[in-house]
Structure 1
Amino acid sequence: MKVLKFGGTSVANAKNISLVKNIIADLKSDKTVVVVSALGGITDLILKTAALASQQDKSYMTSLKEIEDRHLVTIKELIPIQSQSKVLSKVKSELNTLETLLEGAFLIGEITPKLSDKIVSYGELLSSYIISEYFISEGIDTAYADSRELIKTNSTYGKAAVNFERTNHNISNFLTNCSNSTAVMGGFIASSVNGDSTTLGRGGSDYTAAIIANAGNAEALEIWTDVSGMYTANPRIVKQAMAIPKISYEEAMELSHFGAKVLYPPTIQPVLSKGISILIKNTFDPHAPGTLITKNKNGEGKTVRGISHVENIALISLEGPGMVGITGISKRFFEVLSTAGISVVMITQASSEHSICIGVDNHDADHAVQVINDAFNVEISQGKIKTVVAEKDLAIIALVGDNMKSHQGLSGKMFSTLGKNNVNIRAIAQGASERNISAVILKEDVKKALNTLHEEFFEENVKQLNLFVMGVGNVGAKFLNQILTQKKYLKEKLKLSIRVIGISNSRTMVFDEDGIALKNWPELLAKGQKADKELFFETVNKLNFRNSIFVDNTASQEVSETYNSYLRNSISVVTCNKIACSSEYSNYQELKDLARQYNAPFLFETNVGAGLPIIDTLKHLVASGDKILKIQAVLSGSLNFVFNNFNDTTTFHDVVKQAQEEGYTEPDPTIDLSGVDVMRKILILARESGNVLDIEDIQNDSFLPKESLETNNNADFFKTLTKHEESFQEMYRKAVEEDSKLKYVAQYENGKASVGLQRIPRGHDFYNLEGSDNIVLFYTERYPDQPMIIKGAGAGADVTASGIFADIVRIGNF
């Protein structure tokens, strides 16, 4: 014999019920018992209708009409016309009785638990009758059974306790005397020994099926739902979650207790003692293997089998010096909660006996606080115990697996993984069996925590990075293209999965939680909402993705001023924007401190040398204990390009114009030619060397005429270049006369920094620097005479984009 239970989604409408019929028709079993829930959504609708009636709100009649319509429509769509009369008559009769019960609740203005069970039972009574008649009309040899006549309970309405002796006897007799191959009955409902309708509590239909399976010694219990088994995590939250092929009873109970909604925890109890397997299947994908729940033999299976969670949890702590060494405190504490009917979800106690912490449902929190404070009023007034308060809007997240106890370091791995994404842990609990490690976190962090842990324990170490990109001009566009072309390589070779979730330019911005399609991002961005940097941040923060990275490809001071907000929310920052790191030293240091405090990397390799590993190399030198003695560098690709192309056959104006048009300079070329850009770069290198310095401390020997420096727009600036062409030619002639080349040099030594145009003699490391290349000489205690040299392309959209990309990869490898 097999027992199959179909949930509300599986029997939500005529179309779904026809799928159930197909499953039953294809079964190869001598006897099949089908347990069904109410039509999808009907139980909630009945409860709503009853609440309205008890409040003497006449709109309950509208809800009742909706209940009636749902059932009558289902009958007309399922049952052939010639067979409908009998079914419609029976269902209308039952609905009339339901109306009478609701009218009674309306007249007296209240609803008792006993009446509530009577009313809510009609969901399963009606669905099971309709489905049984549909099966008969389709030629399936079917008998209808009223579960209330088989399952007997006490009179605890809402969550009745089963009298298994009488129940097993009733079911055994029914199965023995039933000659039909298939029997259909409603789940969730039962009756007391006095014959009053009772219900089995949340998930009661699963429980009904397990009770039938136990009493009938079934070969298997199948739970049919809308997902293909129990998953490694909630697939609605973790897209990469996968069905678990096989799992133990104990693991299934742990997962279902902590929120795996495909199975109700008490379901397993009736079948556990007899070793009856449970198979979780998908009504809408019946050929999917599903999950087999059975006895775990000889440590089969992976270490961690699943990650689950329960939301809407509140923490309540009983603590105070008066608890230490005092016997009976725990007994009193839990007796108070038990008497008040409050279920405790989790318990943790410090070894010092100074506190006991419990987790309860948010709904019970205020009541729990009241009864505990009342019970310990004397100790609270004497200062021996603190007044109890509830911390709400939390969630429990749990790792589950039978074999966790035989593997060291799982707790550390779990907490380290959460810590790296700044998921704060409020409480921890682990049973002696070590089958479950639970942690209480903020409810808003659930999505991030689940995805982070799933990535760590189930996804073969593929780390997902979620990018939010601001600025998609030359550099930003190249960067997005590099991500697109390298996506496959990164996943296969570096185990990194990079998604761009948000993009913004100065006009519009667009977000996609599943990742923006980079093949057509310009079109998507053009159709996006109006750009707003505050709203952009709020969206990034609200999405709360793990491994979130804000990428700034702009040169905007306003954007740079948002970095601290991102870092404070554990969102990493990668930028080619030099403004933040060359701003006041206190701001620079704050950003560095925030990055450490909130475990959010702040990387800006492209601030100096574009794609060259200058800052990274400097960091490694300092971290290894080396001391920087002197830095000499040509750090402006723009100025190097200009002076490499300027001679007596060209004009300074034309060369600068060419540099601007080819993207070597900032949109405002005075930033480059005035030396401000180079000042920022040497300032950043000095700071990264461990020195306290501000930009005002740097000497700038500008080669530009004062008139050029004082212009307010590009047109006027270029006019001054033409006007002072002779002075530029004079600089060139002097360099030629000395067999030298003009290079704009930055230097730092003995706490002092300077920038300015120099004539570099033949043989110097800077002399043969071509095109827009950069070069840096690091003189250190380990390299005092022959410096460490870094040289290469230091400007251009491609190399800058690649430097940003490299910083993203660095974060992925943290």
Structure 2
Amino acid sequence: MQHSQSLKIYKFGGASVKDAAAITNLRSIVSKHGADGPLLIVVSAMGKTTNALEEIFQLAYAGQDYAALLLQLADFHRAVAQELLSATNEDAASATASNDPSLEQLVEQLGDRLATLTTGEFDKQYDQVVSFGELLATRIVASALGAQWLDCRPLLRTDHAWREGRVDWPTTERNLTTAVPPLLANGPVVTQGFLGGTASGHTTTLGREGSDYTAAIFAYCLGAESVTIWKDVAGLLNADPKIFEDTVRYPEISYQETIEMAYYGASVIHPKTIKPLAVRQIPLYVKSFVDPTAEGTKIHDCRHGLLVPAFIRKTNQCLISFESKDLTFISEENLEVIFGALAQVRLKINLMQNSAISFSVCTDFSAYRLDKLLTALREQFTIHYNTDLELYTIKNYDAASLQRLTTSRELLLEQRTRQTFQFVCRSNA
């Protein structure tokens, strides 16, 4: 596919749309940096909205009262919209298509979803509710920009893998290349990250923090010139500055190196983002919405020397160990059963290790999924597990970086390759 020589895709995450002031800053960025050609803007839910919707959903699913939290969420979005409206040219704000749902209509639809939840199909119903974070945010951002609002769910086709929708690439590319270019000809388009839809019209989500991936999907299908992810950091750093001191920015970095860092849990980029961009050689820029003129990081097909060590931490981890009840060796047959059960309950393995009579995995902790796993395997295996753990990864490690992270920590499991060192330990929190 030939690249569109002018189409740019901007992705703004939750921190960049957390309130009216943040959205005003977004509008300034778009005005100053994105006005030289077609622009597609992918937007996440505002601030901690996804967390709030998860809490509301959990209460509703359990048959408990969620009304106060729902009202609080709705009032927050109304207040942001009203503050922006008072500072925005009302004619521009009304330029969005008349058949787009209003903020109040979306709030009403969310209430209806919650009121009709049933027992069973937890993950499917989760997607139908939590997706409203992106729908509400994009409604507000589109109005603030006077841009066109696009519902991506009928276009970005996935299967029925709720909460981790797998993209039907041929159908999605056909849908997007048909529907989006005519809209772009009329000005900027605002659409949702994180969301997709099935052929039957149900909403799916692409995995937490999946808005980056959405931007890459649009870029791949439309042959974009570039993708820019606007973050609250100076670019792609070797560590999260909220956790580690003395972080270093990578001015440029290869697709391959970034894929590995994202796979291990680097929070700046969603793991699935890089592949579709690399296939079509579309550069990805990571820039700061706090300082839009700063250089940032360019991720592309490049060669570089050995990079400074990267430090990655994943919290809320669970270490699960399986032993055969008859104390026989862990065999390929045992592993097949364990892997099958992990896949069935959709627990992603972040690290694994085996010995003669045991097999251990580190996964993200989910009480619901762990309970299903124990139910499936407890008759065949003796299972031990620890929760409230942390998984650290050092990419391109050296002696100093190893000492920096391992000193004074109790390592429950560790693993080393030529370039990567990982260990599981108890949380210091």
Name the TM tier (shorter chain). 0.7 to 0.9
**Contact map agreement 1:337 1:372 (CA 8 A) in 2:** no
1:339 has 2:325 as partner: no
Alignment of structure 1 residues 5-404 onto 2, 5 Å: 5-27=11-33, 29-58=36-65, 60-79=66-85, 80=88, 82-83=90-91, 90-105=102-117, 112-136=122-146, 142-178=147-183, 179-297=185-303, 300-319=304-323, 322-324=327-329, 326-350=331-355, 353-363=356-366, 364-365=369-370, 367-376=372-381, 387-401=382-396
Distance in 2 (alpha carbons) for counterparts of 1:52 and 1:392? 23
Match of 2:80, SS?
helix
Residue 409 of structure 2 is aligned with which of 411, 417, 423?
Answer: 423
Superposition deviation, residue 81 in structure 1: 7.3
Letter in 2 for 1:120: V
Aligned AA (2:391)? I
Question: Aligned residue for 1:788?
Answer: none
CA distance in 2 between counterparts of 1:436 and 1:197 reads: 37
Runs (5+) with no aligned partner, structure 2: 1-6
Q: Check 1:112–1:238 CA distance in 2 against 1; reply closer, same or farther (3 A cut).
A: closer
Give 5+ residue unaligned stretches, structure 1.
137-141, 377-386, 405-409, 445-541, 543-814
How far is 1:66 from its partner?
1.8
Measure, in 2, the Cα distance between the counterparts of 1:109 and 1:359: 30
* Letter in structure 2 aligned against 1:134: A
Q: Decide whether aligned partners of structure 1 residues 357 and 73 sit closer, same or farther in structure 2, where only a CA change above 3 A counts.
A: same
Change in Cα spacing, 1:392 to 1:25, as seen in structure 2 (3 Å) is: same
Contact 1:255 1:307 in 2 (8 A): no
Q: Distance in 2 between matches of 1:332 and 1:55?
A: 31
The percent identity for this pair of structures is: 27
How far apart are 1:326 and its partner, in Å?
4.6
Quote how far apart the aligned CAs of 1:16 are: 0.6
C-alpha distance in structure 2 between counterparts of 1:438 and 1:209, whole Å: 30
Kept in 2, the 8 Å contact 1:337–1:371? The answer is: no
Whole-angstrom CA distance in 2 between matches of 1:336 and 1:354: 19
Q: Which one-letter code corresponds to 1:158 in the other structure? A: R
1:319, CA displacement in angstroms? 4.6
One-letter code aligned to 1:438: Q
Q: Secondary structure at 1:150's aligned position in 2? A: coil
How far off is 1:54 after superposition? 3.2
Q: Answer yes or no: is the 8 Å Cα contact 1:54–1:111 preserved in 2.
A: no
Question: Partners of 2:329 and 2:123 in 1: how far apart?
Answer: 42
Two-structure CA RMSD over aligned residues (Å): 2.8
Q: Is the 8 A contact 1:4 1:35 kept in 2?
A: yes
Contact 2:330/2:358 (8 A) holds in 1? no
Give 2:42's aligned amino acid: V
- SS of aligned partner of 2:174: helix
Q: Provide closer, same or farther for how the CA distance between residues 111 and 99 of structure 1 changes in structure 2, counting only shifts above 3 A.
A: farther
1:516 match: none
Provide closer, same or farther for how the CA distance between residues 104 and 242 of structure 1 changes in structure 2, counting only shifts above 3 A: same
Secondary structure of 2:171 counterpart: helix
The Cα of 1:415 is off from its aligned counterpart by: 4.6
Partner SS state of residue 221, structure 1: strand
**In 1, Cα distance between the equivalents of 2:212 and 2:331?**
43
Rounded Cα–Cα distance in structure 1 between residues aligned with 2:347 and 2:114: 29
8 Å contact kept, 1:10–1:226: yes
Distance 1:435 1:249, change over 3 A: farther
What TM-score, normalized by structure 2, do the two folds share? 0.86
In 1: Cα distance, 2:29 partner to 2:285 partner: 14
> How far apart in 1 are the matches of 2:143 and 2:331?
64
> Relative contact order (C-alpha < 8 Å, sep 6+): which is higher?
2
The CA deviation at 1:278 is 1.4
Q: Within 5 Å, give how 1:563-602 maps onto structure 2.
A: none
Helix, strand or coil for the counterpart of 1:263? coil
1:24 to partner: Cα distance = 1.0
Task: Please list, as runs of the form range in 1=range in 2, the aligned pairs for 1:525-540 lying within 5 A after superposition.
Answer: none
Cα distance, 1:188–1:326 mapped onto 2, change above 3 Å? closer
Deviation at 1:164, TM superposition (A): 0.7
* SS of aligned partner of 1:33: strand
Superposition deviation, residue 85 in structure 1? 7.9
Corresponding position of 2:420: 436
Deviation of 1:362 after TM superposition, in Å, equals 3.2
Residues 368 and 301 of structure 1, relative CA distance in 2, 3 Å threshold? farther
In structure 2, distance between residues paired with 1:24 and 1:35: 12
Partners in 2 of 1:261 and 1:303 — Cα distance?
18
Q: Give 1:177 deviation, angstroms.
A: 2.1
Separation (CA, whole Å) in 1 of partners of 2:75 and 2:296: 34
Distance 1:5 1:418 in 2: 33
Tell me how far apart the structure 1 counterparts of residues 122 and 373 of structure 2 sit (CA, whole Å): 23
Distance across 2 between alignment mates of 1:182 and 1:223: 16
* More helix per residue: 1
Q: Do 1:336 and 1:375's aligned partners in 2 also have CA atoms closer than 8 Å? A: no
Paired residues in the alignment total 412
Q: What is the CA-CA distance between 1:413 and the residue it aligns to?
A: 5.6
Rounded Cα–Cα distance in structure 2 between residues aligned with 1:316 and 1:49: 29
One-letter identity of the residue aligned with 2:313? H
In our comparison, the structure showing a higher alpha carbon Rg is: 1
Alpha-carbon distance change, 390 to 4 in structure 1, aligned in 2, over 3 angstroms: same
Aligned residues of 2:349 and 2:363 also touching (Cα < 8 A): yes
Change (3 A) 1:135 1:86: closer
| Amino acid paired to 1:331 | E
Alpha-carbon separation, structure 1, partners of 2:361 and 2:176: 40
